[in-house]
Structure formats: structure tokens, C-alpha cells
Amino acid sequence: MDQSKLDRLRQRYGAASPADFFDPHFREVAEAVFRGAEAPRQPFADAGTLLDAPLRPDLAALDDFGGLDIALVGVPMDLGVTNRAGSRFGPRAIRGMDRIGPYEHVLRLVPSAQASIADIGDVPFSNYLSLAACHHDIQAFYGRLAAAGVVPLSVGGDHSVSYSILKALGRERPVGLIHFDAHCDTSGGDDSARFHHSGPFRLAVLDGVLDPDRTIQIGIRGSAEFFWEFSYDAGMTVLHAEDVAEMGAKAVIAKAREVVGDGPVYISFDVDCLDPVYAPGTGTPEVGGLTSREALAILRGLAGLDVIGADVVEIAPQYDPTSNTAQVGAQILFEQLCLATLALDRRRQHG
């Protein structure tokens, strides 16, 4: 062993406490995370919240949401499922996950140090037994968030919730979409079954709030392929799970950035995009999906895009006794938080 190196390490770290940081970046991170305390609270203490953010449901009653930059919102509604129900428990499962963040080691970012963030609770439903009423309430709630200039990051709930969120966020101009899923979710319906988790993005395009030419769908696979004619006819870019494996993460990132460009973009992540090995707790699992590492790499590669909102949906924890699905869902949400924080910082710099 190099004796001079050992002497140097002993001199620096021999009497150091856990609160001593010598690398300038790590010291800055520690100061942001600990806020002057020597250690954070135990990860298993207190009530769970989305990403351990402050729980502030009271802010949802204010017109300006208390001046928040980013709101974490639960949408516990799964009346639109076509297979296994249970994603109404997704927000609660994510709130039970600890040790997600606050530092993102690849992007080298502490979102809570750069933005005002809170868990504002769940969307209030006037009639949680009515699918149509729930969608009316979702659109109204997110319309208020959009009017206040608050960026919403949401946990569903089934994938139909994304439609009403997009109706609110895209009402001034159609937005782009980066959509992670096993299914394109562009099938049809009729007036008696307008809202369901197999068709939110067809509805969003037809309502003029989603630009299909700025939409990319990643991880698509399975026997429902013939339902997704609308995606191809509308000009959406569809990357199957096999394409992702062949192209690799870097090429997928480049394609996504090319498709959505510099305009406002929404990110929607259905956990069935992942192989059931990584996320078995979902309503419509499809074998042969992305790995969690691939998904995280692609998300991190989207840093710098103008992210105006995002969601993680279809987490049905009762089908996963390991809690892996909720764990990866919480991590996906944290990556989305990082992307939204970077976009917010960029908008501030450019006025």
C-alpha cells in the first residue's frame, strides 16, 4: 500500500465526522440536504409523502397554491381499467417509499434546493364512483394548477387520467409527449365508454391539446398492437421494446429529443413499460419490456427539455408483494422531478 496516500487519508479523514465534506460539490449537496443538521431524520419516521416532500394539502385551496413551483399530486382513480383494477392505491404506495432522493447522482442535482416543492395531496373527487365525474374534476383541478403556473407531477391511478391532465395543460397550445408504455393507448371508444386507459392519447390529439408529430411512444409491445392504428396514422413515433434493445439508450434519447424539439413537453410513464420482472404490480403486464436501468438512462437523457408536467401511472401494489413496482415508480417520479426542476431553471434564465 502507498504509505504517503495512507498518511494523507488518515490526516484528512481520521478524525472527521459524518458532517465533514471536503469535495466542494458534495459539501454543497450536504448543506442543501441537511439544512445545517448533522444528519437527516430516519427514513422510516413520520407520515409518508410523495418523495418526502412537505405535505401541504392546504395549499390546494389557494388560487396561487402558495407560490409553489412544482406540485406533487396523487390521482387515486382506476375506473378506466380494462384488465386488473387496483391502481387507485398507487399514490399511497408511492408515499410509502423511503430513501428516494433528495440527490440525483447522474444529473448532480438536489431539486428541493432549487424549487419550491410540496405534496399537495390527492385530486378531490366529487363522485369517485363516476368515471365521467372524476375526469371533470381532474381537468378542473389541473386547470387551476396551470392557471397558477405550477408544474404538476402526478401519481395515478390508471392511464386515463393523463387525458384530462393534458386537456388542462394543453388548452392554450398543443404540447408534445414522451410516453413510456407497453401500449400506445390510442384505441377508440364511444360516448358510453369515452374515458378508459386504452385511449387517452387519441382523445388528446382529437381535442387539439396533444401534437402527434411531437409525440414519441417508447417500449410498445404485446398482442394489442392492432389497436394502435391511430398512432401510426396520426404521425406519432412508435418505438417498440425491440427497437429500444436494438438502438440502445443513447439513440432512443436522440430520437426523443428530435421528435419533441424545444417546445413544451409532457412525460407520461406507465410502469408496464418495464418488464414484469421489474414492475409486476400493474394492471396489464407485458413480458419483454424495458429494464429499470434503461428507463432511468433514457429519462436522464431528456435533461434540458421544456418539461411542463409528468406522471407515473398504473401502479397496482397488491399484485407485487415485494414492493419493487412502487420502488421503481417512486424513482421514476424523482427523475421527472429533476427534469421539471431543470426546465424551470431554464425558463427562469430565459425570462
Ramachandran bin of 183, using left for φ above 0, alpha for ψ from -120 to 50, beta for the remaining angles: beta
pLDDT tens readout for residues 155-169: 999 999 999 999 999
Q: Considering only CA atoms, which of 124, 131, 88, 130 is closest in space to residue 313?
A: 88
Measuring CA to CA, how many Å separate 255 from each of 178, 251, 336?
Answer: 11, 6, 19
332 band by pLDDT with thresholds 50, 70 and 90: very high
Helix (H, G, I), strand (E, B) or coil at 83: coil
Contacts of 319 (CB under 8 A, 6+ apart): 84, 86, 280, 281, 282, 283, 325
Q: What mean pLDDT do residues 87-98 have?
A: 96
Look at residue 190 and tell me whether its pLDDT is greater than 70: no
Average pLDDT over every residue of 41-70: 92
Distances (CA, A) of 185 to 54, 122, 129, 204, 216: 33, 24, 23, 11, 12
Residues of the chain with pLDDT > 70, as a percent, come to 97
Closest-CA residue to 100 (of 300, 328, 316, 255)? 328
Place of cell 416532500: 53
Concatenate the DSSP letters of all residues of 207-247 into one string.
Answer: TTSEEEEEEEEEEE-STTGGGGHHHHHHT-EEEEHHHHHHH
Give the domain ranges of the chain. Answer: 1-40, 46-350
Q: In CATH, what number does 46-350 get?
A: 3.40.800.10
pLDDT at residue 193 greater than cutoff 60:
yes
For position 191, what pLDDT does the model report? 57
Residues in the chain: 351
Instruction: Identify the weakest region by mean pLDDT among 30-44, 146-160, 224-238.
Output: 30-44
Mean residue pLDDT across the chain: 94
For residue 235, pLDDT beyond 70: yes
- Nine cell digits for residue 171: 388548452
Q: What is the DSSP string of 109-162?
A: B-GGGTS-EEEEEE---S-TT-HHHHHHHHHHHHHHHHHTTPEEEEEESSTTHH
Q: CB neighbours of 24 closer than 8 A, spacing ≥ 6?
A: none
Residue-level pLDDT at 37: 53
pLDDT score recorded for residue 40: 61
- The answer to whether the pTM exceeds 0.85 is yes
Is a pLDDT exceeding 70 seen at residue 3?
A: yes
For residues 309 and 72, what is the distance between their CA atoms, to the nearest angstrom? 10
**Dist CA 320 CA 331 (whole Å):** 16
Cell of 80: 378506466
Strand (E) or helix (H) holding 265: strand 264-270
The Cα-based distances of 254 to 208, 218, 236, 258, 349 in angstroms read: 26, 13, 16, 6, 24
pLDDT in tens, 284-313: 999 999 999 999 999 999 999 999 999 999
Per-residue pLDDT tens digits for 104-155: 999 999 999 999 999 999 999 999 999 999 999 999 999 999 999 999 999 9
